[in-house]
Structure 1
Amino acid sequence: MIEPKFIGILVLGGFSNLTLAALIEPLRAANRMAKQTLFGWQVASEDGKPVLSSSWLRVEAEVAMAEIAGADMLFVVASFDAEARATPAVRRFLRAEARRGTIIAGLESAPYVLALAGVLDGHRATTHWEDLRDFAERFPAVTAMPDRFVVDRRRITAGGALPTLDLMLDLLRREQGLSLALAVSSTFLYEGAHPGHDPQHMVAAGRLAWQDPLLVRAIRLMEANIEAPLPVEAIAAELGIGPRALLQRFRATLGTGPKAYYAELRLALARRLLENTDRPVNDIAADCGFASGSALARAFRTRYGVNPAGFRKAA
């Protein structure tokens, strides 16, 4: 009989339900498919009290975090306001677990918590793509990667809910073999498993990937050139078609032209950065391909009816 591996799960307030499910459900399914307990787990909060998710669902913690000390693997789950959840007690706990040699994983925004505790120093790591640039600037001792998930020695990070599912399937493959990993994947009717080194994308292509793969290539070129936007003519040339043909494809499938779509992509990123970081507006403008903070403000007000400062204050 295989000795079950004990998984400690520290859930911080404002976490994503989907990320937590992507972590736990593959473990449950693996036990079911193997017809034995391969994994056991406990959900903990900092103080053992219930935790509210980002959608205000209440999760009852089984124990306080001190009681999952010494787990075979420790997963930290966080989403919104992750830094505010990185209390001195949480940081001390993570440092103590690192000294024990525990494998520590941070999911979605939890890499911020791990980095603030100093347990990611000298490691490669990722976080949600919206925060990746800020994360890289804030924590120069950590090598920030745009990957879906990163496994670097005894530190693991994943960028969001579906990357967490990909991560868990990868861990199952490593721990229990490909057959069980495929069986678990099939349980969820999930055929889109990605390797960790696949990049995170701003736009999830979904059905568009088979409906019009050339259009997806155009969008990926836009994503890769946010700071210095490409002319539509250059995008069309890269794809081997004319600008007019590109315009027709965008309008037929997405209901807008490539220039307008590109601008919307850049403004959506600016909106996320304003909401989720405290970076100066001028820096966000540069990151999103605007010549100045005032240029971003004009475009932002036209699109959202409020200037960046007003939006950030309300958010």
Structure 2
Amino acid sequence: MHTTEETRHIGFLLMPNFSLIAFSSAIEPLRMANWISGTELYQSCLISQDGQPVFSSTGVGTRVDHSLDKLPKLDVLFVCGASPIARTGNETIISWLRKQKTSGQAMGGIGTGSYLLACAGLLNNYRATIHWWDTDRLLEDFPHTKVTRNLFEIDRDRFTCSGGTAAMDMMLFLIGQQRGMELAAAISEQFVCERIRPGDDQQRVPLRARLGVNQPKLIEAVQLIEANIEEPLTTSDLASHVGISRRQLERLFRKHLQTMPSKYYLEVRLEKARQLLHRSSKPVLQVGIECGFTSASYFSTAYRNHYGLTPREERKRMAEPQDEGSQPATFGRSRLIT
């Protein structure tokens, strides 16, 4: 395998607790492009803030090639964000990214890496996406970013994706643009991917697949539930909107979801509340209001009954430092370091 003048140099900046599946989905297509073509079309390097190994969210340690102050010339730098977004400790990285604003450097965000790019002002007036769990936070914190809920976004010299296996779709799209779709399709086939998903595919699994049912009235009712969190509908309202009686609706929920509409609705609202507690800095009372709880005591009681702790205890637990214990062995580029 030989290097050509057209070899593109891709860097991956790994944040502590980065998503291993998203990172692997991004870097593996580059390796496969080289293997299939017999030419080093891409050279990749791994980067951390200080040049030290970085541990993923699953505890797998990865040795890197460079620190931020000793970077080679790159065509694109991808930021592989933490999962979940780290609330503190990103100041040095954000400051460094902010300095790249006038460099003309192409930048990418994988998963929550998009959030760090936005913090540095690198996504102002760009289309961008992020994992659906963090979409509301990106929308709220950065009104100058055109946030979508798509799998990935390619906007001029900014490449963002929602994380997970969507990173592979984004990289295959970029390889297709640069090297031809025949190569991208061959890589997809090697990875046993049924198809290369387009960027405007939606992130969430279709509702009928999530529920495991194909009952139109039930699906319509659940869609209404998910669209009306802050001002919940009554069971009678739901039944009226989907055109059946309340008793028929309750029968559908019992048969297909083994629960009642009101209980299902409450669980959806509590899950949304948990998401906001984890992914936003909104006050607990505001979280409760946005999830349809007009009473703070009712919100606290319902949350504790479902999750075993109150919303305030949930927030406090999140703020506590995690005991990492003994670190697992560190993986280098191709071998285990002991």
TM class by shorter chain equals 0.7 to 0.9
Shift of 1:218: 4.5
After superposition, where does 1:273-312 map in structure 2 within 5 Å?
273-312=276-315
Structure 1 window deviating more from structure 2 (46-55 vs 222-231): it is: 222-231
Structure with more relative contact order (C-alpha pairs < 8 Å, separation 6 or more): 2
Q: For 1:68, give the aligned amino acid.
A: L
Query: Amino acid of the residue matched to residue 42 of structure 2?
Result: F
Cα deviations by residue, 1:162-213 (Å, 9 ceiling, x for unpaired):
2222222222232223322222222222236433233333x66585588526
CA distance in structure 2 between the aligned counterparts of 1:189 and 1:231, rounded to whole angstroms = 45
Deviation at 1:294, TM superposition (A): 3.5
Structure 1, unpaired ranges of 5+: none
Moved more, 120-129 or 44-53: 120-129
Structure 1 pair 244–162 and aligned structure 2 pair: CA distance change class (3 A): farther
Q: Closer, same or farther in 2 for the Cα pair 1:204/1:116, shift >3 Å?
A: same
Once the two structures are superposed, what CA deviation does each residue of 1:232-278 show, in whole Å capped at 9, x if it has no partner? 45555665655545444443343323332232122112112212332
Provide the C-alpha distance between the structure 2 equivalents of 1:183 and 1:213, rounded to a whole number of angstroms. Answer: 38
Supply the AA of the counterpart residue of 1:23: A
* Equivalent residue number for residue 87 of structure 1: 91
After TM superposition, the structure 1 = structure 2 runs for residues 165-204 of structure 1, keeping only pairs within 5 Å, are: 165-191=168-194, 193-201=196-204
3-state SS of the aligned residue for 1:125? strand
From 245, 257, 261, the counterpart of 1:258: 261
Q: Match for 2:111 among 105, 108, 113?
A: 108
| Correspondences of 1:204-243 after superposition (within 5 Å) | 205=207, 207-208=209-210, 212=214, 214=216, 215-216=218-219, 218-233=221-236, 235=238, 243=246
Aligned CA distance change for structure 1 residues 208 and 109 (closer, same or farther; 3 Å)? closer
CA distance in 1, matches of 2:5, 2:238: 55
- How far, CA to CA, are the matches of 2:181 and 2:222 in structure 1? 33
Distance 1:177 1:116, change over 3 A: same
8 Å CA contact 1:222, 1:262 repeated in 2: yes
Provide the TM-score with structure 2 as the length reference.
0.81
Query: What is aligned with 1:132?
Result: 135
8 A contact 1:69–1:97 mirrored in 2: no
| Alignment counterpart, residue 19 of structure 1, candidates 14, 19, 22 | 22
TM-score scaled by structure 1? Answer: 0.86
Quote the sequence identity (%). 35
Which protein has the bigger helix share? 1
Change (3 A) 1:69 1:242: farther
The answer as to whether partners of 1:82 and 1:112 remain within 8 angstroms in 2 is: no
Give the drift of 1:104.
Answer: 0.5
Match of 1:56 among 53, 56, 59: 59
Greater mean deviation of Cα atoms: 175-184 or 58-67: 175-184
Query: Judging changes above 3 Å, is the alpha-carbon distance between structure 1 residues 291 and 46 closer, same or farther for their aligned structure 2 residues?
Result: same
Amino acid at match of 2:279: N
**2:81/2:113 contact within 8 Å kept:** yes
Q: Distance in 2 between matches of 1:169 and 1:301?
A: 44
Measured in 2, the distance between the counterparts of 1:216 and 1:58 equals: 42
Alpha-carbon separation, structure 2, partners of 1:310 and 1:70:
47
Give 1:159's aligned residue: 162
User: Deviation above 6 Å: which 4+ runs of structure 1?
Assistant: none
Bigger drift between 235-244 and 37-46 goes to 235-244
- State the alpha-carbon separation in 1 of the partners of residues 247 and 149 from structure 2: 33
Q: 1:213 to 1:9 in 2, by over 3 A?
A: farther
1:10 shift after superposition: 0.3
Other-structure match for 1:35: 38
Aligned CA-pair RMSD: 2.7
Relative to structure 1, the CA distance from residue 288 to residue 32 in structure 2 (aligned partners, 3 Å threshold; closer, same or farther) is farther
Q: Please, which moves more after superposition, 116-125 or 36-45?
A: 116-125
CA, structure 1 residues 261+191, in 2 after alignment: closer, same or farther (shift >3 Å)? Answer: farther
Which structure would you say has the larger Rg?
2
- Map of 1:6 onto structure 2: 9
Q: Which residue type is aligned with residue 309 of structure 1?
A: R
